[in-house]
Structure 1
């Protein structure tokens, strides 16, 4: 069972429409959650390392990571997260439109916790986000937070 504190989620997504859909689906979640959004991989890493304007960012309990983004792609972000001793325990869910075998293999080789292809339909997208919520926020036991967050 999870703590009474809201689940901290970092969504790394450059598509404003997908950000909005994810926010709406999580707003209907059974468990309280706080969603932070990074618009690309560079912002995500600064958020996770609490650099610059992100110096007071909460440590996420879960990261939802798109692969295809400008500036720094999801594969690079995943590699950096999983190489960092302070970040590697945070579960990373790849949430992307790519169903290419190379992307799936590369993601799991870099220790992604799961790989989900974004559906194109509104209802299907909501269903996928709800399934993420059901599994990662209700079923599994997430690692404890470090530090003073």
Structure 2
């Protein structure tokens, strides 16, 4: 029996400079049947403007989830994460780090900045969807949440 869901799709901000990695992530969300609206940005500067609603992003929605690559041109993912955690309006947004390297010191410094997940690329679909489902405590009651895969 499938229950109906009422609410708005999850707002996802994907900050990833690799077209291939972005396609895989977008595909994983689609395949997992997660109701969402995606904004894909390719640099730390763009993401910073989006999150602060500056310039062309003045009407940007506040994301419910940030999927963040660490190796970005300009402002790195780690710098952006630090800025998010220092901003009173943004600090509670769940952030999942997606990176091609699993260096222990980088992972530890990100965890110190309260990330909700750390995924190594290429992303494992089931691991990714389980992590998104676990983040439901952070989300608003009016949002459509992911359902468990059968």
- 2:117–2:131 CA contact under 8 A, matched in 1: no
Q: Which segments of 5 or more consecutive residues in structure 2 lack a partner in the other structure?
A: 142-150
* Residue 15 (structure 1) aligned with residue 18 (structure 2): yes
Gaps of 5+ in 1: none
Q: Deviations over 1:84-125 (max 9, x none)?
A: 000001001111111001111110112222211113xxxx64
- Report what 2:32 is aligned to: 29
Q: Distance in 2 between matches of 1:24 and 1:86?
A: 30
Q: Which 4+ residue blocks in structure 1 deviate beyond 6 angstroms?
A: none
Match of 1:41 in 2: 44
Q: Which residue of 2 aligns with 1:130?
A: 129
- CA RMSD in angstroms comes to 1.9
Q: Residues 73-92 of structure 1: matches in 2 within 5 Å?
A: 73-92=76-95
Q: CA deviation at 1:132?
A: 3.4
Q: Report the CA distance between 1:82 and its aligned residue.
A: 0.1
How far off is 1:143 after superposition?
4.0
2:67 is equivalent to residue 64 of structure 1: yes
2:92 counterpart SS class: coil
Count of matched residue positions in the alignment of Structure 1 and Structure 2: 137
Q: Report the Cα distance in structure 1 between the residues aligned to 2:97 and 2:6, rounded to whole angstroms.
A: 24
Secondary structure class of the residue paired with 1:58: coil
Q: TM-score, normalised by structure 1?
A: 0.83
Shift of 1:144: 3.7
Q: Distance in 2 between matches of 1:101 and 1:111?
A: 15
Counterpart pick for 1:141 among 134, 137, 142: 137
Q: Distance in 1 between matches of 2:6 and 2:134?
A: 15
Calculate the TM-score normalised by the size of structure 2: 0.83
